Structure 1
Amino acid sequence: MGGPKFSLGNARDDLLRGGDDWDKFSQFWENLPLDPYMGDGGTYRRRKYSAISYDVADGGVRVIDQDGFLQSEEINRLNGGITRRFEPVDQALLDTAVFRRMLAHFVARITADAPDGEPVAPVRRINIHQHRIVATDRELGNPTPEGIHRDGVEHIVMMLVARKDITGGVSTLYDNAESPVLTHTLRNPGDYIFVDDRTSKHSVTPVQVAPAAAEGHRDMFFLEFC
């Protein structure tokens, strides 16, 4: 199969070219509720989740089931095996120019990279995750408490929305034998790692609150193409 297939970039540079679209998008991380399903007892993660269908031909977006998010225990050793129900992503976020451009951009890349003869689905299921990982002087924030893992989908966009008053949060990609192939820190808003989940695994180091700050956070946006 070869090594992991991935690329790095910045969505603000690749897709937006200035304007105030980013501010309209990033504001949606200010009202995320606490994740109540943390198997380690942590109170450091806030999140929302929705699943959508995306029509490749006309760009149509439709929110589909809200039956919850389920991963196997094999995929997620910490929180797998149960259906987790989260507050859905705001419809207003789904209507932003940033979100629509991201969908079109990454679907086009997936389609272009498909092997010859591989059928391209006219409608894609996409899982959308908003995360805020909070660090305080009492608790570290752990972006990947399940450890080295894959998400069990086809492709993933892992994009930084904001970093504030934290250290850490270093991402590592591994091949399927869990040998590291990339160590990289998402530092600037819009920085992303785009990865073929079938060819790799990943992890992120914990985040600590920066000296002299009472609290810090790392905001992330994930698109999972199923």
Structure 2
Amino acid sequence: MEEPNFSLGNVRDDLLQENDDWDKFGRFWENLPLDPHMGDGGVYRRRKYSAISYDLDADTVRVVDQEGFLQSKEINKLNGGVVRRFEPVDPALLDTPVFRRVLAHFATRIEEAAPDGEQVPRVRHVNIHQHRIVATEGEAGNPTPEGIHRDGVEHIVMMLVARQGIAGGVSTLYDNAESSILSRTLADPGDYIFLDDKTCLHSVSPVEVLAPNPEGYRDMFFLEFC
């Protein structure tokens, strides 16, 4: 069995610069629309999604026209098997220094980690997901209602943008036999898990609101390199 391949860090500590304006980046999570495709009937997830083509050599981004987001039932037992359409990511987010630096950094890491002699695409298809998981007094939020899973891509960046007024949200990684290998709470803005989706499965525990707050949330940013 292939060894799990993952790493942890914080982008604000590791690669951002003072003029990259994290607060401006985080404001793109303030008005996410409700996810209308929740197979469990939950109304706790707000979401945007876009797909891009990224040219690593030229450092250019082109939004790809897509009919929607599709995962197989084998990959996503809850919401797979149907085309899910979401409001696209705001184009202004794609021009922020935070996004461009994070995208270039992880694309370069994938290239540098490739085995000797393996041809790495210079132009990559990348899925971009913005999630806000909301917890209220009446409903907990479930970041991974499909349970332990993989996303069916090559590599994934899972990055915390903000968390407010909640408990829980513990990320757990598993090997391909579903044995737990790591549990970690992404607690500080910029905390990330970067993993090889072929060698790791993952899940996140539910989030619950902390009294006396009427509502709390967990904002996440995902890059899926296909």
Q: TM-score range by the shorter chain?
A: over 0.9
The 3-state SS of whatever aligns with 1:103 is: helix
For each residue in 1:126-156, what CA deviation from the matched residue of structure 2 results, as whole angstroms up to 9, or x when unmatched? 0000000000000000000000000000000
Amino acid at match of 1:3: E
CA distance, structure 2, for counterparts of residue 3 and residue 148 of structure 1? 18
Amino acid at match of 2:59: G
CA distance, structure 2, for counterparts of residue 201 and residue 102 of structure 1? 22
Flag as ranges the 4+ runs of structure 1 deviating above 4 A.
Answer: none
Q: Which moved more, 1:38-47 or 1:58-67?
A: 58-67
Q: 1:20 to 1:225 in 2, by over 3 A?
A: closer
For each residue in 1:104-141, what CA deviation from the matched residue of structure 2 results, as whole angstroms up to 9, or x when unmatched? 10011000000111111010000000000000000000
TM superposition score normalised by structure 2: 0.98
TM-aligned CA deviation for residue 17 of structure 1: 3.3
CA distance, structure 1, for counterparts of residue 66 and residue 111 of structure 2? 27
Structure 1 gap segments, 5+ residues each: none
Matches within 5 A, 1:1-226: 1-19=1-19, 21-226=21-226
Question: Does the CA-based 8 Å contact 1:164-1:216 persist in structure 2?
Answer: yes
The 3-state SS of whatever aligns with 1:101 is: helix
TM superposition score normalised by structure 1: 0.98
Question: Does the CA-based 8 Å contact 1:52-1:127 persist in structure 2?
Answer: yes
TM-aligned CA deviation for residue 16 of structure 1: 1.3
Amino acid at match of 1:109: R
Q: Cα RMSD between the aligned structures?
A: 0.8
Amino acid at match of 1:45: R
TM-aligned CA deviation for residue 20 of structure 1: 5.7
TM-aligned CA deviation for residue 15 of structure 1: 1.6
The 3-state SS of whatever aligns with 2:105 is: helix
Question: Does the CA-based 8 Å contact 1:150-1:202 persist in structure 2?
Answer: yes
The 3-state SS of whatever aligns with 1:84 is: coil
Amino acid at match of 1:29: W
Amino acid at match of 2:89: V
Amino acid at match of 1:38: M
Question: Does the CA-based 8 Å contact 2:69-2:85 persist in structure 1?
Answer: yes
Aligned residues: percent identity? 74
Amino acid at match of 2:80: G
TM-aligned CA deviation for residue 32 of structure 1: 0.2
TM-aligned CA deviation for residue 161 of structure 1: 0.2
TM-aligned CA deviation for residue 10 of structure 1: 0.4
Amino acid at match of 1:121: P
The 3-state SS of whatever aligns with 1:102 is: helix
